[in-house]
Chain A
Amino acid sequence: MSARSVRRRIASGLMTGLVTALSFTAVLALVLILADLIAKGASSIDWAFFTKTPVPAGETGGGVANAIVGTGIIVGLAALISLPIGIGAGLYLAEYGSGRLGFLVRFVADVLNGTPSIVIGIFAWTWMVKPVGRFSALAGSAALAILMIPMIARTTEEMVRLVPHSLREAALALGYPRWRTSLRVVTRTALSGIVTGCLVGIARVAGETAPLLFTALGNLNFVTKVTQPMQTLSLQIYVYATGPFEEWHRLAWAAALVLMGLVLVLGIAARWVTRQRYGSVR
């Protein structure tokens, strides 16, 4: 074997080692962050943390019950608003989206997916907070819904496209009108995939903070009225993390661990739903 060939083999081996090392560095970053979350957050999590509302600054104790309920309400409402629009737009793209309008909608969805969430936050403020003169959970939900619509539209389209065309032909041959074929046969077949897409979308906005700063605002009290300012876990973490008190920092880590757990549960549920149906397909 010539020296040149040996050199080339060594170079190949080195580069293989390098990309392997880079990959494990990325994984290491994840492991470090999760480990810190557990190390610094787990000890503060007890029953009171889930059932109590925040105490005034300087006092110890208190929990994030209002933030957990608020996250549920705001995100749930955002899902209610965005699911019909997102799924409908996704169905349009899959069923009728081969033309110019389809291209445009697809392109706009992808561009909107990359729009900074803070920009959507001030947009929602202008339309939903400024006219009524009051911050509200509803405005926060609207901002999150705007973030979710393009995501859900694209995943729905992907999932509906996976449905074999023969199913459609069979339904039409049996005399089903097109719309019933689309809704009862095609969409039902793709349902688990669509649910997965929706759960992923919900998981993604559940951790959002920036669009809620000027819409839901945050609230130290326990509120369930959507016309009131409302707390979410993400807003609570922001306030606690940037505050001056040790006690707040401790609670911020605990709240971050809870939020991370919530996002992961939604993410795992999303995968589990699809696994039921397609088995190995991913």
Chain B
Amino acid sequence: MTTLPTLASPRTDRPSGGSRWDSLRGVNASDRTYKAVLTALALALPFLIVALFAQLFVSALPAIKRFGVPFLWTSTWDPVAEVYGAAPMIFGTLASSLIALLIAVPLALGVAIFLTEFAPRRLRQPVAFLVEMLAAIPSVVYGLWGVFVLIPFLRSYVVPPLKAVLGWTPFFQGVFYGNSLLAGGIILAIMIVPYIAAVSREVLLAVPSSQREAAIGMGATRWEAVWSAVLPYGRAGLIGAIILGLGRALGETMAVTMVIGNRHDISLSALQPAYTMAAAIANEFSEATTNMYLSALFEVGLILFVITVFVNAFARLLIWRVARGAAVGSKAL
């Protein structure tokens, strides 16, 4: 699991780096060497992302050539006949992430609003710490908990009433065996709450108190001040936080693999097994005996990589727009 994201952004408000150094002292040869070494190390990051993309693309090339764009909407996945299509996994990835967002967004925004606007001072640090600790639990432990605690709980207490009330909709059809889209979505929701909550909280903290004061001063209640002044001010950042959470959910592997059922099938019902792109790679990569099978899995990886890169880039730009210049330290763990 990676660190909680922070709001840190390129700071344009205070001079730093090169410009400040230059005014202070002359440069000698070892200074230039020092800068060159650091630059080389920093270049490792752009190199990594380019290498990742290039390698995935090269490995996926045979599958791309063979199946072309229809790979995206073909739902056959037949290693024997060597026909591959990623539609069920793409559907399952999006559906499980959507369920996760439906559950996680109210929870996480609730946490962020509570912590910045309503919580008593001495509760803020402990509650923030506890929620962030959810991010420290390894994915495989979430999976273990999902298999042995969450799924039995869903089977006994959640699915029967759900079917009784909403069983007529296409979303809750069929027999519930446990491993399902619903279980995957719920596990994902718990896993992304800390990310969305942490970023939303920093976004709300970056809203100037004058916004709140002005609303209260005009006679708003505390909630009205939050709803009509604070939230609109931070809207772009909050959307960024949610999209960042979406990025996490799309790529999450172990916990989802353990509870989603891993079936190459598209079903609208949340009670049925499904598959995600990450789960397919985790499950089938070591069984991929032919080059085309392997290449198809690499293409799945490439699609997943490209989607998450775009989602993350978009989220970052939104967040930076709100919190530019906010001096936010690392809130990791």
Contact = CB atoms under 8 A, between A and B. Distances in A.
Contacts of B281: 118-119, 121-122
B3 interface: yes
B144 interface: yes
B137 A155 contact: no
Contacts of A122: 56, 59, 281, 285, 297-298, 301
A122 B55 CA distance: 10
Interface in B295-333: 297-298, 301, 304-305, 308-309, 311-313, 315-316, 329-330, 332-333
B56 A119 contact: yes
A29 interface: yes
Bin the interface of chain B by size: 35 or more
B38 A108 contact: no
Given A16-B223, A99-B17, A264 B136 contact: yes
A195 interface: no
Contact of A120 (B11, B52, B139): B52
A114 B28 contact: no
Q: Does more than half of chain B's interface fall in helix, strand or loop, or is it mixed? A: helix
Contacts of A213: 282, 285-286
Contacts of B214: none
B16 A98 contact: yes
Interface string B202-242: 00000000000000000001111011000000000000000
A125 B20 CA distance: 43
A238 B136 contact: no
A207 B111 CA distance: 25
B55 A25 contact: no
Given A20-B118, A103-B10, A12 B190 contact: no
Contacts of A8: 221, 224
Contact of B55 (A127, A183, A264): A127
A102 interface: yes
A18 B298 CA distance: 45
22 contacts: A8-B224, A15-B227, A16-B222, A19-B113, A26-B131, A36-B149, A92-B41, A95-B21, A114-B244, A114-B308, A116-B304, A118-B278, A122-B297, A123-B55, A168-B20, A172-B25, A177-B31, A197-B330, A204-B333, A210-B254, A214-B285, A270-B333
Interface of A: 8-9, 11-12, 15-16, 18-23, 25-27, 29-30, 32-33, 36-37, 40, 84-85, 88-89, 91-99, 101-123, 125-127, 146-147, 149-151, 153-155, 157-159, 161-162, 165, 168-169, 172, 177-179, 182-183, 197, 200-201, 203-210, 213-214, 234, 237-238, 241-242, 249, 252-253, 256, 259-260, 263-264, 267, 270-271, 282
The 10 closest A-B pairs by CB, nearest first: A207-B138, A116-B251, A22-B110, A88-B41, A179-B34, A98-B17, A12-B221, A92-B42, A12-B223, A114-B312
